[in-house]
Amino acid sequence: MSDETTNDTAKGATTDVTNRRRSQRVFLSVRVVARFHLLHREWIVEGETRVVNAHGGTLQLSVAPLAPGDIIKITNPETGYAESCRVVRIEALPGQGFEVAFAFDRPSPHFWAVVFPPTDWIESLITHD
């Protein structure tokens, strides 16, 4: 097998793994409250989600934890649900704060108060008027 073939195979495997999700993602804007420790102080920051699923999501915050692996507690004021989460990724959004990707410590499909589409849902099967 040539190096070129090996690289193509490795790239395909990486893409397959990174595109796999444990639950269907939903673009949903929900106001949440995040609590976390940063620089020897507890922060309580309001934020808004961008994408959610039964296992976590992404949210925009004005202040963010320091690093992936940090623990945050997110509360949904609409439902009263609160869950502990692990930070997966933090990305600076110039002039807008930070986008924080997080994973719930345990699956929490009811946290968002939405019914998630089934995992085999395919958008192309829906007729668009």
Residues 22-81 have pLDDT tens digits of 677 788 999 999 999 988 899 999 999 999 988 999 999 999 887 999 999 999 999 899
What is the model's pLDDT at position 65?
A: 80
Q: pTM of the full predicted structure?
A: 0.73
Taking alpha carbons only, the member of 37, 39, 92 closest to residue 69 is 37
Q: Looking at mean pLDDT, say which of 6-10, 84-88, 122-126 comes out highest.
A: 84-88
Taking alpha carbons only, the member of 56, 44, 46, 62 closest to residue 99 is 62
What is the model's pLDDT at position 119?
A: 61
